[in-house]
Amino acid sequence: MNRYGYACINMQLSYPQKHGGQERGVLPITTGRSMIKRTFEAKGVDYASELTLNNVKDLDRIIDWNIHNGYNFFRITSGLAPWKSEYKWDDLPDIDEIRTWLYSAGVKAETHNVRITSHPGPFNVLTSPHEHVVKNCVSDLTDHGDVFDMMNLSRTPYNKINIHIGGAYGDKESAMKRFCENFELLPDSVKSRLTVENDDRASMYSVKDLYYGVYKRIGITIVFDYHHHKFCSGDMSEQEALEMALSTWPSDITPVVHYSESRRKEQLDETIRVQAHSDYIYDEIDTYGHDIDIMVEAKHKELAVQKYKELHMTDHYSNLPSVKAYNYGL
């Protein structure tokens, strides 16, 4: 049976009054604590350590909530450690406690069959012709691999670290070749988990581009994005592109796909970028008979997954509990 996941933010825990039915005074549970550069310059690594520790504690709590409410697929934020590019893990005064909480969260996820993934930001560009950009990308991806290692997650695409390959720079073939060359600069903690996904602009990379330009060279796994395919199809049907991407996954790992819908479906406003994601999803997802894990990239996160199940999967999910109130005293 397909699993349905959500990304980074739990709406009911992050906004306990608005979405969680809680009274005033209940603090949000979130992994998104951060700060502006000026604050980092003033307060330094000690404050970054405090924020990171609180973020990883709340990651553990969000995984608890997911377990209690039947959500067994979750993408963690890329911002657990604010301004991580400015220091090393061991510079954090609270690193031992941070490691302990991350390990606890990872073991809990594995024990309860909660699949954990991540999606580093768009500035990770391994196709770049600029050495400093690639160096920064390698550093950021290494941090993601470190987090997954601290969580004791598998070094496989089951716990994927997913990126777009980057710009085309006027020459897709050369850019994809650079990606493959720069891939070799990554540590195994990243290479073993790294996946790539198709883009949402016709000038960028379709599944077909990624398959022949990257997968055939280095064997990297491809994540199919349904919404992006509408804008960059590579002259393939949805089913053809999906099945090409699925063929790149190891046979013993359930593939992941991304699904979203256009925000114009909710707001009939042609000034809205058609690629922008909607709050909820409405159409029934066609998996073409494949067993896949579906990351729902909708703005209302777990609420969107819940609504989708209510719309389309009542019979299949009738034995699952409804969303339960979270014990905010944990």
Q: Which residue has the tokens 């077909």?
A: 208
Quote the pTM value. Answer: 0.92
Backbone Cα Rg of the chain: 20
Q: Do 69 and 321 meet the contact criterion of CB atoms below 8 Å apart?
A: yes
CA torsion 145-73-30-20 (nearest 10°) is 180
Q: List residues bridging with 75 in a β-sheet.
A: 7, 117
Question: Which residue in this structure is represented by tokens 């024990």?
Answer: 111
H or E, element range at 3:
strand 3-7
Q: At what angle do helices 37-68 and 95-111 cross, to 10 degrees?
A: 30
Q: Write the pLDDT tens digit of every residue in 219-277.
A: 999 999 999 999 999 999 999 999 999 999 999 999 999 999 988 878 878 888 888 88
CB 224 within 8 A of CB 192: no
Going from the N-terminus, what domains does the chain have, and what CATH number goes with each? Answer: 3-17+61-78+116-312 (3.20.20.150)
The conformation of residue 262, written as its DSSP 8-state character, comes to: B
The total number of residues written for the chain in this structure: 330
Q: In this structure, what DSSP letter does residue 277 have?
A: B
DSSP type of residue 56:
H
Under a CB-based contact definition with an 8 Å cutoff, are residues 255 and 207 in contact?
A: no
Rounded (10°) angle between helices 131-150 and 95-111: 70
Alpha helices in 15-86 (DSSP H): 37-68
Strands 3-7 and 293-296 turn out to be parallel
State both tokens at 314.
Answer: 């009542």
Written as tens digits, the pLDDT of the chain (330 aa) is 789 999 999 999 999 888 877 777 788 999 999 999 999 999 999 999 999 999 999 999 999 999 999 999 999 999 999 999 999 999 999 999 999 999 999 999 999 999 999 999 989 999 999 999 999 999 999 999 999 999 999 999 999 999 999 999 999 999 999 999 999 999 999 999 999 999 999 999 999 999 999 999 999 999 999 999 999 999 999 999 999 999 999 999 999 999 999 888 788 788 888 888 899 999 999 999 999 999 999 999 999 999 999 998 865 444 444 444 434 343
| The pair of three-digit structure tokens given for residue 213, joined into one six-digit string | 């330009």
Q: Please check whether residue 109 is in contact with residue 116, taking contact to mean a CB–CB distance below 8 angstroms.
A: yes
**Cβ atoms 155, 189 nearer than 8 A:** yes
pLDDT tens profile 196-235: 999 999 999 999 999 999 999 999 999 999 999 999 999 9
Instruction: Give pLDDT, residue 292.
Output: 97
CA 178 to chain centre: 24
Q: What is the DSSP letter of 79?
A: -
Q: Are 317 and 308 in contact (CB under 8 A)?
A: no
CA distances from 176 to 51, 246, 261 (A): 37, 20, 28
pLDDT at 315: 59
Asked whether 224 and 210 are in contact (CB, 8 A), the reply is no
